[in-house]
Structure 1
C-alpha cells in the first residue's frame, strides 16, 4: 500500500501562527485594536459591577 501524491497534504498553518504573523505585520493597528478592546471590556465590567452593586440600608 503506497501513498499517492494526490493524497499527501501539507498541514495548514495554525490560527495562532497566522494571528501572530498578522500582528507583527500590522503592529500599530493591532495594538490600537487590542487597546480599544481592553478598554471596552474593562468599561463593560465596571458598568456591570456598578449596576449590580448591593444597596445597604441606612
Structure 2
C-alpha cells in the first residue's frame, strides 16, 4: 500500500551551480585570519589581555600544585 504523497522514484540530484571567477578567487576569510587582523588593529589591548590570561593561568596551575602536593612524613 503506497501513500499518494510519497514519490515512487527518487528525485534527481540537484545540479551544482557554477561559481563565478570572482567568488571562486576570494573565499571568505577564516576565523584565525580575522582574529589576527583584529589583534593587530588593537595591539595594546590584545597584549594586555594575553598577559592577564597568562598570569591567571599560571596562578591556577601554581595553586593546584600547591594544594595538591603530597604530604611526606618528616
Do both share a fold (TM > 0.5)?
Answer: yes
TM-score range, shorter chain: 0.7 to 0.9
Give the TM-score normalised by the residue count of structure 2.
Answer: 0.66
Quick one: structure 1 residues 57 and 14, their matched pair in 2 at CA, closer, same or farther if it must change by over 3 Å?
same
Give the TM-score normalised by the residue count of structure 1.
Answer: 0.82
Q: Which runs of 5+ in 1 are unaligned?
A: none
Structure 1 residue matching 2:73: 3-state secondary structure:
coil
Instruction: Quote how far apart the aligned CAs of 1:3 are.
Output: 1.8
Greater RCO (Cα-Cα under 8 Å, separation 6 or more) = 1
**Correspondences of 1:1-58 after superposition (within 5 Å):** 3=18, 11-58=27-74
Report the number of matched residues.
56
Which aligned segments of 4 or more residues in structure 1 are displaced greater than 3 angstroms?
A: none
Q: Which runs of 5+ in 2 are unaligned?
A: 1-14
Structure having the larger proportion of residues in helix: 1
Aligned-residue Cα RMSD (Å) equals: 2.2
